[in-house]
Structure 1
Amino acid sequence: TQYKKNKDKHSIPIPLDVFYVFMNHNINSFIRQFEKGRHQTLVSFTNAYNEVKLKLDKYKVEKSLNNHPRIFQIPGYTIPLFNIEASPSTVKMLPFGYVIPEEISTPSFTIWGSDFYVPPYTLVLPSLELPALPVPTGPLEFSLPEFKILSTPRNILIPTLGNITYDFSFKSSVITLNTNVELYNQSDIVVHFLSSSSSVMDALQYKLEGTSSLTRKRGLKLATALSLSNEFMGGSHNSTISLTKKK
C-alpha cells in the first residue's frame, strides 16, 4: 500500500461579517431585555425571601410568648479510673425548637488528689435570624463590548486526501491472483480497480476491471465503467449521473 500526499486544500468560508453585523444590530435590544429580566428576577426573589423572613419572625415571636425556654440539666458524674469529677451542666434550648440550643454550660472537671481543675464555661449561640434584603431602586449598569471586524482569516483550510495505491498478489501451483486498487484525488476523484488471474485451468482465469470518476467542474458528474471476462461469463456496464446548477 502506498500513499502520496496531495498539496491541494479544501477552503470552507466562515461568514464572520454576517455574525458581526447581527451582533452589533441586536446588542442594544439584548441589553434592554437582559436588564428587564434581571430586575424582575431580583424583585421576585426578594419578595419570596422577605415573605419567608416575616413568617419565621412571626413563628419565633408566637412560640416565645406561649412557651418558656427549656433547660436540660445534666447531672454531675465521676470517672473512677481517672479520678475525674465533673460538675453538673445545663443546655438551654430555644422556646420554639428542640434542635438548636440557645445556651450551653459546660461542666467543670476536677482530678482528686491534685491541683488540676477546669472551670465551667457558658457558650451562648446566636439565634437564627434572616437579615432584611432590600431591592436596589436604581438600575444596575451593564454594558457589552462592541464587536469589530478583525483582519483574521475568513476561511478554514482542510488538507485534501492524497493518492492511495493498493496491490495484492497470490501465487500457487494452480492459480496466480493479482489485484490492484488506485484512488487519485486531484481536481477529479478517480477510483480504478483491476483484478485478474492466470491458471493452468481455463475456468479459473478471469479479469475484472472497474473505473469510477467524480468530476466537480460545472456541477457533479459520476461516471462508472465495469467489465468482466471469463470462460463461462462476461459482460460490461457503463453509467453516468450528472448534477448541474440551474441558471
Structure 2
Amino acid sequence: EKTGLKEFLRTTKQSFDLSVKTQYKKNKDKHSIPIPLDVFYVFMNHNINSFIRQFEKGRHQALVSFTNAYNEAKLKFDKYKVEKSLNNQPRIFQIPGYTIPLFNIEASPSTVKMLPFGYVIPEEINTPSFTIWGSDFYVPSYTLVLPSLELPALPAPTSPLEFSLPEFKILSTPRNILIPALGNITYNFSFKSSVITLNTNAELYNQSDIVVHFLSSSSSVMDALQYKLEGTSSLTRKRGLKLATALSLNNEFVGGSHNSTISLTKKNMEASVTTIAKVQISTLNMN
C-alpha cells in the first residue's frame, strides 16, 4: 500500500505470463585458416644439412672417446695379468679319486689349474678316468686347456661415418583448418502482467554483413514505465570495414538517440558521431 500499487492490485491473487524463445540457424559458410606447413618444410630442408654435420661430429667424438677408454682399460688389464703372473704361481686344486659302490665305478684323481691372476677362471682341467670293476669298460682321462683371456684392441676411427636423413617433401593433404561461421541467432522475451507488459527481441544475422538488432518496449498503466529502446549495429566487409551503430530511447521523461559510423580502408579512416539526449521532469527540462 505504501508503494502505491494498491490501485493496481484488484485481487489478492495475481497472475503473469512469461515466455522465452531462442533460435539458432546454422550458417553454411566456413572460415579457412591456413597452416604454414610450407614455411616449416623450407626451414627443415635448410637446416637439415647443419643438423647432420653436428650429429656426425658428436657421434664421431663419442666413438673416439669410447675406443680410447676401452684401449686404456685393456692396457691396465694386460699389465695386471703380467704382474700377477710374475708374483704368483698358478694354484692347482686336486680332487681325490672316489668309488661308487652300487655301480662298481672307480674314478681316478683329477686336477684343476687356475690362472695366477685370479681364482675364478681355470687355465687347465684334467678330467678323471672311470673304470668299472669286473669289466673291460674304461674311460680315459682328458686334459682340457682353456684359451687365455685376451681382450682385442679396437682401432680408433679415422673418419666419421656417413649419416643422411630423407628430404622433407610437402604433403598433398589439405593445409587449411575450416571453422564453421557463426549462424543467425534470435532471442525473444515476453512478460505480461496486470501492471506491465514487457517485450524484448534480439537478433544477430551473419551473412555477407554482420547485423545486430535489439528492440525492447513496454506498455503499462503507469506512463513512467512505458518506454521503447531500439538499437542496430552492422559491420560491412566490402571494400574495407564499416561499422555503423544506431541507438534510440523513447520515454516520458528520458529520450535520445545515438548514431555513429566508422570506416576503415587501405588508404584512409573516417568516423562520425551524433548524439542527442532529452531529459524532461517537473523541475528540469534539458535537451
Q: TM-score normalised to the size of structure 2? A: 0.53
> Contact conserved, 2:114 with 2:124, CA < 8 A, in 1?
yes
Aligned to 1:106: 127
Worse-superposed segment, 57-66 or 112-121: 112-121
Aligned: 1:177 with 2:198: yes
Distance in 2, matches of 1:97 and 1:90, equals: 17
**Structure 2: where are the runs of 5+ without partners?**
1-21, 268-286
Larger mean Cα displacement after TM superposition, 220-229 or 172-181:
220-229
Offset at residue 211 of structure 1 (A) = 1.0
Structure 2 counterpart SS, 1:165? strand
Tell me if the contact between 2:68 and 2:156 (Cα under 8 Å) persists in the aligned partners: no
Comparing 108-117 with 51-60, greater Cα deviation is found at 108-117
Change over 3 Å in CA distance of 1:93–1:23 after alignment to 2:
same
Asked if 1 retains the 8 angstrom alpha-carbon contact of 2:31 and 2:180, the reply is yes
Change (3 A) 1:202 1:33: same
2:64 and 2:157 in contact (8 A); partners too: no
Instruction: Evaluate the alpha carbon distance shift between residue 205 and residue 140 of structure 1 in structure 2; reply closer, same or farther with a 3 A threshold.
Output: same
Looking at structure 1, the residues matched to 108 and 73 of structure 2 have their Cα atoms a distance apart, in angstroms, of 42
Distance 2:102 2:243 in 1: 99
* CA drift at 1:24: 2.3
Deviation at 1:156, TM superposition (A): 1.9
Are the structure 2 counterparts of residues 175 and 32 from structure 1 closer, same or farther at C-alpha, using a change threshold of 3 Å?
same
Return the alpha-carbon distance in structure 1 between the equivalents of residues 63 and 254 of structure 2.
Answer: 83
- Counterpart CA distance in 1 for 2:173 and 2:39 is 15
Which of 9-18 and 173-182 deviates more?
9-18
Secondary structure of the 2:41 match is helix
Q: Take 1:120 and 1:100, find their aligned partners in 2: how far apart are those partners? A: 21
Q: SS where residue 82 of structure 2 aligns? A: helix
Q: Deviations over 1:152-190 (max 9, x none)?
A: 223221110111111111111100111111111112111
The offset of 1:213, in angstroms, is 1.3
Offset, 1:215: 1.6
Cα deviation digits, residues 70-113 of structure 1 (max 9, x gap): 99999999999999999999999999999999999999999999
Show the counterpart of 1:75. Answer: 96
TM-aligned CA distance change 1:144 to 1:118, over 3 Å: same
1:239 is displaced (CA, Å) by 1.2
Q: Within 2, Cα distance between the matches of 1:152 and 1:54?
A: 59
Deviations 1:128-167 (A, max 9, x none): 9999999755424422111122322232211101111111
> RMSD between aligned alpha carbons?
7.8
In structure 2, relative to structure 1, the CA distance for the partners of 1:35 and 1:204 (3 Å cut) is same
| Residue among 56, 75, 78 paired with 1:57 | 78
Deviates more, 1:73-82 or 1:237-246: 73-82
Partner of 2:265: 244
TM superposition shift of 1:21: 2.9
Q: 89-98 or 24-33, which moves further after superposition? A: 89-98
Shift of 1:114: 37
Q: What SS class does the counterpart of residue 57 from structure 2 fall into?
A: helix
State the SS of the aligned residue for 1:97: coil
- State TM-score, norm by structure 1: 0.61
Unaligned ranges ≥5, structure 1: none
Q: Distance in 2 between matches of 1:82 and 1:169?
A: 113
- Does the C-alpha gap of structure 1 residues 29 and 178 become closer, same or farther in structure 2, counting only changes over 3 Å? same
For residues 204 and 34 of structure 1, do their structure 2 counterparts lie closer, same or farther at Cα, with a shift above 3 Å needed?
same
- The answer as to 2:165 corresponding to 1:144 is yes
Cα deviation for residue 242 of structure 1 reads 2.3
Cα separation, 1, equivalents of 2:201 and 2:38: 48
Give the alignment of 1:1-247 within 5 angstroms.
1-40=22-61, 138-246=159-267
Deviates more, 1:83-92 or 1:166-175: 83-92
* More off after superposition, 196-205 vs 124-133: 124-133
Q: Which moved more, 1:180-189 or 1:34-43?
A: 34-43
In the superposition, relative to structure 1, how do residues 116 and 203 fare at CA in structure 2: closer, same or farther (>3 Å)?
farther
